[in-house]
Amino acid sequence: MRIVSYNVRYFGHGLKGLASTAASKSKIADALSALDPLPDLVALQEVETKSLRSRVAVRDAHPAENQLEGFLRHLSTDFKRLGRVMPYRAWYFPAHVYRLGPIKLYTTGLAMLVNSQRLEVISDNGHRPHAITHHRSETLKQVKQTRIAAHLRLEDLQGRRFHLFNTHLSLPTPWAKEFWAQPQKMGFGKNQLAEARAVSQFAEVTAKNEPYLVVGDFNTAPATPVYRYLTEDAKLRGAQEQLKQIDLERPDAFATAGFMRLRMHLDHVFASGDLSFIDLKDTHTFGDRSGPFSGLSDHVPLIATFDLG
């Protein structure tokens, strides 16, 4: 099986995240459909529904089309051009809405695509994604962006079942005094640790004795307290660490995201002990212009092949 985990920045990287564009959807669809072999699963972070930001700069949008539907339309066009059947079905998991009166300024959420030729979805929590947001106080609760864990239970052609959990953790909170005392930020926040614990416990309880993956934008560097909690306490294995693409002694050596000249490793693909990773083909560090997804988001995708065992 092959999985892609990718923060697509609301398909708005061409406008620095200010608004979604048709060109961004089209280019990401082109890169995804060109992967060989095709991924069986695609976990996306930072995906909208309908809002002012998702539609204001999109000239070809169909009136009733939300952002994920627009992306799937571009993806379907690619497969038709290649003479192939569009294999993907999509699930959306809403997280948060920012409003100005009745107007949705922008929305946040996660999405997952499943290759229906290879996998069947047994169940999902799209109707009610699992809330993981850590609220420091009731006062800040009203303005804090909701964070969630999205879930699919899947079955392959041999009848083997496993689970996929997709998430996007908060940034470390600047309201905690240790934020200013700690020179390193990403993966050191107590709020991040609480959310990582919520994700891992939800995954363990939900999956029961079946294997599972936990993927997403963790806003967390390797070798940090959050990463070590997930790999040591929660006993998950990171694909990049297992396959020696990263070295925990040099956690900044591989960047998955960037802002101006700043480079960060924020994204991860984890698995329970029942699964093993085989390769990370087509996974490139941020800034590597040879990668098929170069320049399409402020993140690069992690692309991993794994064995269900």
Structural domains in the chain, sorted by start: 2-307 (3.60.10.10)
For 152-170, what is the mean pLDDT? 97
Q: pLDDT tier at 57 (50, 70, 90 boundaries)?
A: confident
pLDDT exceeds cutoff 60 at 232: yes
Q: What is the DSSP letter of 142?
A: T
Q: What is the pLDDT of residue 288?
A: 94
Kindly report the pTM of this predicted structure: 0.94
pLDDT exceeds cutoff 80 at 179: no
For 152-171, what is the mean pLDDT? 97
Helix axes 22-33, 67-81, angle to 10 degrees: 50
pLDDT exceeds cutoff 70 at 175: no
Q: Rounded CA gap, 203 and 216, in Å?
A: 13
Tokens of 271: 């698995």
Q: Rounded CA gap, 172 and 205, in Å?
A: 26
Q: Rounded CA gap, 304 and 309, in Å?
A: 15
